[in-house]
Structure 1
Amino acid sequence: WVVAECEARGARATAVALDVSDAAALASALAEFEAERPVDLVVANAGTSFGTAPDGTPETGTAAARQVEVNLLGAIHLVGPLLPGMLARGRGAIGVIASVAAFRGLPDCAGYAASKAGLLAWAEGLRAALGPRGIRVSVICPGFFDSAMGDRFLGPKPLRMTLERAAARTNRALLRGEARVVFPAPLGWLLRLLALLPPRLGDRAMRLMRFRVRAE
């Protein structure tokens, strides 16, 4: 439906279904895109989540590793093959969808928070390195918003936003080339402040926000 929506607005669109953790397959598909028309904007948005099950079963190491493969390594696999072309042209834009979960480890989603923390650090390092070379990197850190993934979380979802509002804020950030966008801002500031507390106090506060995650 995304292709149909784009074409209805007058754009040319092509869809390819790939696992972003498959670096070779992704690089091959990206080479075809680059050969047809140079890529001037790439958005790393693929993501998956697991966590503590509704019955209290903790997240497994395999589940945590899978989130790192998709959420962090998937973004690296996507952006990496496009960088040579952007650098050669001296222009381009990269959007990386991280999360407010990157600011503080979450008791029930440690793997997800770890993957997004790594993604945030990688993207901000990339932004610092590539900015002087004409390439903009926008790091987007959303909180809860209406989505299939969000609906799987059972528990408090403070300051949850509509999908339309979250998409509009992300689109505006990409068009403007904003360096970092956090929304909703109060939730982002809260998690950053909790990260500054002594660990024992921060952990106690985070336990008040516990939630469970339904299987996909």
Structure 2
Amino acid sequence: MRQPRAILITGASSGIGRALALAYAAPGIHLSLLGRSEARLAEVAAAAEAQGASISAAQVDVRDREAMSAWIAAADATKPFDLVIANAGITSGLADGVIAEEPEAVRALLATNLFGVLNTIEPLIAPMCARGQGQIAVIGSLAGLRGLPFSPAYSASKAAVHAYAESLRGRLERRGVLVSLVVAGFVKTPLNDSISAVKPFEVSDARAAEIIKNGLTQGRAVIAFPAALYLATRLARSLPPRFVDWLFTRFSVNVPETKERVKP
């Protein structure tokens, strides 16, 4: 497939989003970078621009459907997107001894991780299909393959975007639009640094960006890493459910609850 020249990345101010922006930044590439931290976003934009890319950066909240739709439509009308990477996300979970997540925290997580993905992709489905080309990438997680007892809402949000990406792929690829699902394991980012747990096969954000970029260039339907952990998680789905529940609860894991809140 051809090299994308106009790319939209959400959650570009840190972590995987930042690393992807720098991985794609080069002369002849236009990057549209969205994030909620104006200062961090400016730093990423400057670094990407220093590598030769042209930049459009904006502080837009992926949870705001109207703002996202308006900004994306205007940007796409100026420089039609070849690739959109729905990356923005937050994490949340349970500390040892806590039984359930706060309902407002759960809804805040879903607002970003699920509805933020919808708000990113929906405005581009029609124009990309009309052009008969383009690529949509959704950043998922191994947690989307099997519910984790220490991160119920996060697991649910990633399972939902996995199903959404798979559903889109079956319909949009007939119209020339590729859809790729990224199933990521542990990546060293500020998001994951807050989690207290064993993190097998953890990779740097730069390495994760390299894997994702290579997979997208190849047009792969699923980009999963690390392979060993992905296969192990897939295997867990074929084992007796209560045995896997018991196995997961043997690990000591502390996932801080997000400070963000959405009231019912």
Tell me if TM exceeds 0.5: yes
Moved segments of 4+, more than 2 Å: 53-58
Residue number in structure 1 paired with 2:247: 205
Shift of 1:104: 0.6
Aligned equivalents of 1:158, 1:181: Cα separation in 2: 18
Contact 2:105 2:257 in 1 (8 A): no
**Alpha-carbon contact 1:107-1:210 (below 8 Å) kept:** no
Amino acid at match of 1:3: A
Asked if structure 2 preserves the Cα contact closer than 8 Å seen for 1:67 and 1:111, the reply is yes
Tell me what 1:68 maps to: 110
Equivalent runs, 1:148-187 vs 2, <5 Å: 148-187=190-229
Amino acid at match of 2:230: G
Task: Give the superposition deviation at 1:57.
Answer: 6.2
| Amino acid corresponding to residue 65 of structure 2 in structure 1 | A
Question: 2:251, 2:167 → 1: CA distance?
Answer: 30
Q: Give TM-score scaled by structure 1 length.
A: 0.95
Of the three residues 17, 33, 48, the one matched with 2:90 is: 48
Deviations along 1:96-149, one digit per CA (max 9) or x if unpaired, are 100011111011100000000000010011111111111011110110011001
2:177 to 129, 135, 145: 135
Q: Does 1:100 align with 2:163?
A: no
Aligned length: 216
What SS does structure 2 have at the residue aligned with 1:29?
A: helix
Residues 55 and 206 of structure 1: CA distance in aligned 2, closer, same or farther (over 3 Å): closer
Residue 78 of structure 2: aligned partner: 36
% identical aligned pairs: 38
Query: How far 1:184 sits from its partner (Å)?
Result: 0.5
Q: Deviations over 1:193-212 (max 9, x none)?
A: 11222221111111123411
SS for the counterpart of 1:97 is strand
Amino acid aligned to 1:79: I
Q: Structure 2 counterpart of 1:18, which letter?
A: V
CA distance in 2, matches of 1:46, 1:61: 21
> Structure 2: where are the runs of 5+ without partners?
1-42, 259-264
Q: Deviations over 1:72-115 (max 9, x none)?
A: 11111111001111011100011110001111101110000000
The code of the aligned residue for 2:256 comes to R
RMSD of aligned alpha carbons: 1.5
- 2:101 and 2:257 in contact (8 A); partners too: no
Instruction: Give, in angstroms, the shift of residue 6 of structure 1.
Output: 2.1
Look up the SS of the partner of 1:196 in the other structure. coil
**2:155 maps to what in 1?**
113
Distance 1:102 1:210, change over 3 A: farther
**Bigger proportion of residues as helix:** 1
8 A contact 1:152–1:215 mirrored in 2: no
